[in-house]
Structures are given as structure tokens and as C-alpha cells.
Structure 1
Amino acid sequence: MKKVLILFIVGVLLSTYSFSYADGDLDLVGEGVILMDMDTGEVLYEKNSNSQFYPASTTKIMTAILALEKGNMDDIVTIDQEVVNLTSGSHIALEPGEQMSLEHLMQALLVESANDAALAIAKYVSGSIEEFSKLMNQKAKEVGALNTNFVNPNGLPNEDHKTTPYDLAMMARYAMKNEKFRSIVGNYTYTIPVTNKKSETRYLKSSNRLLYSNEKIDVDGKTTPIKYDGVNGVKTGYTVAAQQCLVTSFEKDGHKLIAVVLKSTGKNVYSDTHKLLNYGIENFEKVKISFANRFVDNFNVNKGVIPFVAGVTKTDSYFIVRKDQKSKVEEKFTANKTIDAPISKGQVLGKVEYLLDGKVIAETDIVSTMDIEMIPSPNIFKSILSKWYILILIALVFGRIVALNKRKRRQRRRTSLYRI
């Protein structure tokens, strides 16, 4: 028998429901846009989020992921002639034969957005640009970026080098789980010391002005600095074909967001990002709806030594919910009312589903609070044998009986002798 209870609640744990809204609501210049919750992957706002665009240097998010997972930051990389020959656009003037640690190349990749550093990292990891591109595409699919195709590690123009706002958000969400990646993209300056080929220190500065710039932009008619408090990464990008691109990570006051803007123009890429982050902060909140071990119901136990067991929720439940939709979330319990013994503590008895507008947005298990054994077999002998203390008692009683019988026999012998 299934039990369904509908309750008004304010949130749940793992969401798959999308609160996306019509194009143009936020008056964005960027042609491809997404706002995603960092923890759950829930889409809070989107505009052409599954359409393909040129990603420019936001490509380097994936390059960094592979370097971190397959490289050693202390390794020394020797630059070859091919890296120099293929370099155009932003660079740190690497020279053939120059030696530099992977750590410094990673800083150049993500802070300065150096295209030569990207090529050097690709050859260090895979031996060739082509093989590295294969790894990039393989890893993209692993992290849920299914509509992406990379042909180089730096994002320089190529008609086959494309991705989507959604895919970039998934890559950034994955990358930001890596502590080293977070530490690099959260800084906007870095110093590379002299090398065997360069006698001068290289001073790097990020083009991600959300981290530091007091230059003013217009956001919905209000003048505000580009710097956005709470932004802790991730990556800018620009080519003529791609236009202005920006992937942003934000964390503050319980909000953890990823924003992607592709094919915007000039400072509008920052205005677009401000609008997205403002929208997420003002319209959504993460609320705890339920606690682990919350009582759900008593379940009948068939053939158990105890006739019922309490079922409780397995996990705490959170949800990123639009503020005006709190009361629309429903809760549904699904379980068999009678459970067969034996039952172990923590055994799954059913599940709790959370729904919004009829769609399941999350679920958690209902679990048993205790062990319950099956009622012993009516066979008395088997039941007695299953109890070790009864066996000992029987042995003691039997021994006592044997001793008494011996004593009685001795007494009878004495009596017989006396009579004779």
C-alpha cells in the first residue's frame, strides 16, 4: 500500500527542476547566458543556454582541469619551437628551450590568459595538441558538457571549436571543486620569477575586472563599480568571432552561483553578469526544509518480534527555491505499509519525493530506526537450541539429576547391606 501526504514546504536537497525564464527578462546583451546554482546544478535563468557559441579563452577552464588532474605543479616544463610558432594573441613571451614550472604556467594560463602557456601545458600533458584536444572532449563529457567540441587548449578561433553556456557552467562548477583551481582564479595578480631564458620578472594581471575594478558600469540604470563583492573567479575570453565572454563564480551569504555570458559586447559582459548575480540573490534562497532522522510514520512488520518500526528521513534536505514559490513545493511519501522481518537499522523502507508543479525535484530515503528479528520458528526444540543459555541450563539440570540418581543408588546399597 502506498501512502501519499501533501505538505507545504520550503525546500529540498537535490534539484533537477529548472526555474528558467523567457529571453529578455533581464535585458541582457549577451546572446548565450545561464545562471546556475553551484551546489545542485539547478538552472535559475537561461537564454540560449544549449546553443553553441565560440568560447574564446574560457576554453582554458578545461585546459586547467586536465593540467591539475594529470600533472604535477612542481614539474619543470621545457618550451619547444612548436609552442612559439603556434602562439598568437595573449602570451607571456615564452621562448624555445625556456624552462618553467607547471605552477607558473598555470598562473599564466588563468591569470594572464596566456595562449603560449596553454599550448605548453597541452604538450606537457599529452605530447601533442591533437591528443590533448581529445582529452578535453572526453573530460567535457565526463562532467556533463555534452554539446562541446574543442580543437585547441586556448580558444583561438576555429569553426569547429564550440561550446554552450550550459556546458561551460558545468565545467566551471566541476573546476571550482578543486582547491588549487579556486586559489588561482580567485587572484588577479601573480609574479613569475626570472628563468633560464628571461632575466626579468614577469608581472601578471587578470582581465577579470569583477575581482578588482572600480571602473563604473550601468546596471539597470544605476552606476556601479565593475567589482562585485563575493565573486571568486573564474575566466574571461575575447576574440572577434566570440566577442566578450565571461564565466563567473560567486559565493556569499549562502548563495553559490555560476554565471556564464557568451557573445556580449564591451563592458556589457560585466553588466550582464551583474544582472544575473543580482537576479539570483534577490529571487532565490537556499532553505533547509527537513532534517535527517525526521519521523515519517510507523510501518507494520510482518512476522517480527516487534510488530512495527519507525521510519525516518535519511538526510537533511535543502533546496534553492524562488522566494515566491516556497508554498508550492509538495511532499510525497512512497512506501509499502507492511515490511517483512527481519529488518536492519538503516534499511530503506521507502522514499520521500519533493515536487514542484507536479515535477519531482528531489528525493531522500525513508530508513528503519532499529533492528527487528523474525519471530522464532514454532519448533520448540529448534527454538531452545538457538539459545545458548538455555543449553547451559539444561546441562546443569541434567548434571544435577545425574548426581541425585547416584546419591540415591548409594543410599540403596547401604540400606541393602544393613539389612543383610
Structure 2
Amino acid sequence: MKRWCALLLVLSLLVLPVYGAEPTLSAHSAILMDLESGRVLYEKNARERRSIASITKLMTALVAVELHPDLSSVVTVKREWTGAEGSSMYLKPEEELTLEALLYGLLLSSGNDAALAIAGYCAGDIGTFVEEMNKKAAQLGMNDTHFANPNGLDDPQHYSTAADMAILARAVLEREELRVIASTRSVSIAGRTLVNHNKLLWRYEGCTGLKTGYTDEAGRTLVSSALRDGQELIAVTLNAPNDWADHAALFDYGFATYPRTLVKAAGAWVDIPVANSLCRFVRAGTAAEFYYPLAQGEEPEQTIQTPQQVTAPVLAGFPAGRVVITLNGDEIAQLPLLYETGAANNLAPKGWLARLFG
């Protein structure tokens, strides 16, 4: 009986998740990033340049909405935008549809024709649009990325890294219109029913997007995001034969190992000496809470930087200093300290009588 109990105990330990253990992935390159802070929670060959296939279209979508924010504008399809190689939303020459419909075709159906139509409409021609894509990559700090087309078809001059694509995903998720589209499972629009290729929207609870890709050279590529308990994570895999499982494993690892943790509460008041005032001290505090993804045992250090003394008048809501927060020697935040709001804190200087007897 004891031997059977011991065996059952061993088997139960084998099937239980081991929190803190890094996942084993099929991907050649991968990264897991916390959206809010940008902290990298896991990486594997994340800065190695590779072909990226249709996850390129995240940049196409981002540049499109920045160049042409009116998504209700009507686009007339040109013949040279149709019949594109690979996946398609099956545009027809002279067909009229909105830019929004094209973005749905781009991000759900991964339409290569939609990419050409968006690029041609938003920038006048494909080449100019690709230049804008590369400008945006440089602005975002995607230093190991270069685009040669708006759809992701293989080209020696078309490449990125898992790390750079995570940076791009953060920028895309900041645009509410793109967040809505990328998280849509299916939609009926422009006379079509479009179904999202991203199966994680059905398979992983809390998945919020984003984009799949595949070519023979790139293999399976995937950028995804997921939300749990107020924390949103971004996962990127390049050349991942089992990408759905890879992303589920990355998310499970990130949420379990690096939960969103309150580091600094709003307020957290400090007293600063005041000269030339009837009050000896004025209070200052942080305006908002600060959260950061922390593993068990990680303890950020906080340094409060304020003047040794201030001179009245002191105005409520004005800067009073800052709190610098570091983790393992690296700065992770600077939080401004503001003088406490309220009439009692709007300190005027002493009058002449108070100064005489003060």
C-alpha cells in the first residue's frame, strides 16, 4: 500500500506545472514581454535576424492608421493590387470598400492583396509605403529590422527579430482601432465573412490578438498577446513548428512567474522642510500607483530625491522631486513627487509681522 501511495505521489508531481521553470519550445527564436513595462520575461535567440512572413502586416497596419486615420474612407481597388501571391481576401479590380475593411482583410485573412491595396492607397505607391515602414521601425528602435514589402513575402532584404517584433506589438496594441481588429475572431464586412487565422483566440483564455505568418523560408511565425488579472503579455515566435503550444507555455510561465505587482502606492507621502512659512513642513507624494512584473524574491529598491528645504510660496500639484526605483541595479522607473493638493498646502510666505517675531 505504501508503495502504491509513493507511486501516486510521484505521478501527481509529474503532471503538476512547475512554476518558475522556463518552457521548452519548438521555436528557433522567441521572446516574452510584459506589455506595460516592456520587461523581457523570457528570450531565446531573440535578437537573431530571420524571415518573418505575414507578421510583417502588423507594421503595415500601424503605418496605415498613422498615415490615414480615417478608416471610413472608401478605397477603389486598382488592378495591380489584385491577384497577389499567397493568402488573399480576393479583391476585385474597381471594387470599392473602406480602409477599415481592408485592415480586417489584412489582419484576419492575412490578405496579401489587402496589403498592396492599403500601401498603394495610403502612400500613393508601394515603394513609398515601404519607406514609411522602415522609418517607423527606426523610430521604434527596431534596429535589426528591414522591410522590403508590405505583406511579408520572402526577400533577402526583408527580416526582423523576435525582440523587434515584440516592440512593434507594443506599438500596435497602443492603437485601439488595431487592438479591436486584431482581437476579432470573425466578421462580416464588404460582402465577405472573414475568419481570424489566429487560433489562440479560441484556444487560450484571455488571448487579445495579434497575427500569424508562414512562408517556406520563414516557417511558422506568430505574434500574440494575452490578458490576465490586469496584466498583458506579448509573445513572439519565429520558425516554430508548434507555435500554438509554444505561446500557451510562454503565457502560462509569464503569468505564474512574473505577476503584476504593486511596487509603489499612490500618495506615499514625504515631508519636506519649508523656509519662510508658518508651516514647518510641506508634504509631497506620487500621483499614481506603480506596478511591475516581479518574480518571487525580487525586491526593487527605492530612492527618494527631494530638495533639503524649499522656500514658500509652495503651490499644490507642482513638482517636488522624484522616486527612483531600481531592480538588480537597473533603473526601472522614475516617479514624480508632487506637492500635496489642498488649500493647506498652498503655502504663502510669512507676513512681515510673523517674520519679525518668528
Query: What's the TM-score bracket when you normalise by the shorter of the two chains?
Result: 0.7 to 0.9
2:123 is the alignment partner of 1:94: no
**Retained in 2: the 8 A contact 1:284–1:321?**
yes
Contact 1:354 1:361 in 2 (8 A): yes
Letter in 2 for 1:56: A
Q: Would you say the 8 A contact 2:52–2:160 is kept in 1? A: yes
Aligned to 1:81: 79
- 2:209 equivalent in structure 1: 233
Equivalent position amino acid for 2:224 in 1: T
- Residue 105 to residue 349, structure 1, CA distance change in 2 (3 Å): closer
Structure 2 Cα separation of the partners of residues 364 and 167 of structure 1: 27
Secondary structure, counterpart of 1:183 in structure 2: helix
Match of 2:319 in 1: 348
Alpha-carbon RMSD: 2.3
Shift of 1:173: 1.5
What secondary structure, in the 3-state scheme, does the structure 2 residue paired with 1:207 have? coil
Inter-partner Cα distance in structure 1 for 2:323 and 2:286: 8
Q: Is the 8 A contact 2:277 2:347 kept in 1?
A: yes
In structure 1, what is the Cα distance between the partners aligned to 2:236 and 2:176?
21
Partner of 2:58: 61
Are 1:360 and 2:356 an aligned pair?
no
Counterpart of 1:294?
268
User: Percent of counterpart pairs with the same letter?
Assistant: 35
Provide the residue aligned with 1:124 in structure 2: 121
How do residues 188-203 of structure 1 correspond to structure 2 at under 5 angstroms? 188-194=185-191, 202-203=192-193
> What pairs up with 1:164-175 in 2 under 5 angstroms?
164-175=161-172
The one-letter code sitting in structure 1 at the alignment partner of 2:267 is: N
Amino acid at match of 1:311: A
Q: Paired residue for 1:335, among 278, 281, 306?
A: 306
User: 1:11-50 to 2 correspondence within 5 Å?
Assistant: 25-50=22-47
Partners of 2:205 and 2:45 in 1: CA distance: 27
For residues 116 and 228 of structure 1, the distance between their equivalents in structure 2, rounded to whole angstroms, comes to 29
The answer to whether 1:272 aligns with 2:265 is no
Preserved contact between residue 339 and residue 349 of structure 1 (Cα < 8 Å): no
Alignment of 1:377-396 (within 5 A): none
Give the 3-state SS of the residue equivalent to 1:306 in structure 2: coil
Assess if the C-alpha contact under 8 Å between 1:293 and 1:314 holds in 2.
yes
Counterpart pick for 1:263 among 239, 245, 263: 239
Counterpart check, 1:325 vs 2:297: yes
Map 1:369-384 onto structure 2 (within 5 A). 369=340, 370-376=345-351
Q: Is the 8 A contact 2:22 2:253 kept in 1?
A: no
Q: 1:319 is matched by which residue type in structure 2?
A: Y
Deviation at 1:126, TM superposition (A): 0.7
The aligned residue for residue 304 of structure 1 is: 277
Paired letter, 1:237? G
Distance 2:220 2:195 in 1: 18
* Residues 1:92 and 1:309: Cα distance change in structure 2 (over 3 Å): closer
Q: 1 or 2 for the larger relative contact order (CA 8 Å, sep ≥6)?
A: 1
Corresponding residue for residue 396 of structure 1: none
Change in 2 beyond 3 A, CA 1:203/1:348: closer
1:212-253 residue CA offsets vs partner (Å, 9 max, x unmatched) = 3xxxxxxxxxxxxxx111102100000111111000010122
**Residue aligned with 1:112, SS:** coil
* CA distance in structure 2 between the aligned counterparts of 1:286 and 1:93, rounded to whole angstroms: 43
Q: 1:168 to 1:291 in 2, by over 3 A?
A: same
Extract unaligned runs of 5+ from structure 1: 1-23, 195-201, 213-226, 384-420
* 1:64 CA displacement: 1.1
Alignment match of 2:157 (pick from 147, 155, 160): 160
1: CA distance between counterparts of 2:162 and 2:220? Answer: 13
Tell me how far apart the structure 1 counterparts of residues 176 and 204 of structure 2 sit (CA, whole Å).
21
Corresponding residue pairs, total: 331
What is the CA–CA distance in structure 2 between the aligned matches of 1:115 and 1:349, rounded to whole Å?
53
Q: Distance in 1 between matches of 2:263 and 2:240?
A: 38
Shift of 1:289: 3.2
Kept after mapping to 1: 8 A contact 2:303/2:323: yes
The separation in 2 between residues aligned to 1:350 and 1:310, in whole angstroms, is 11
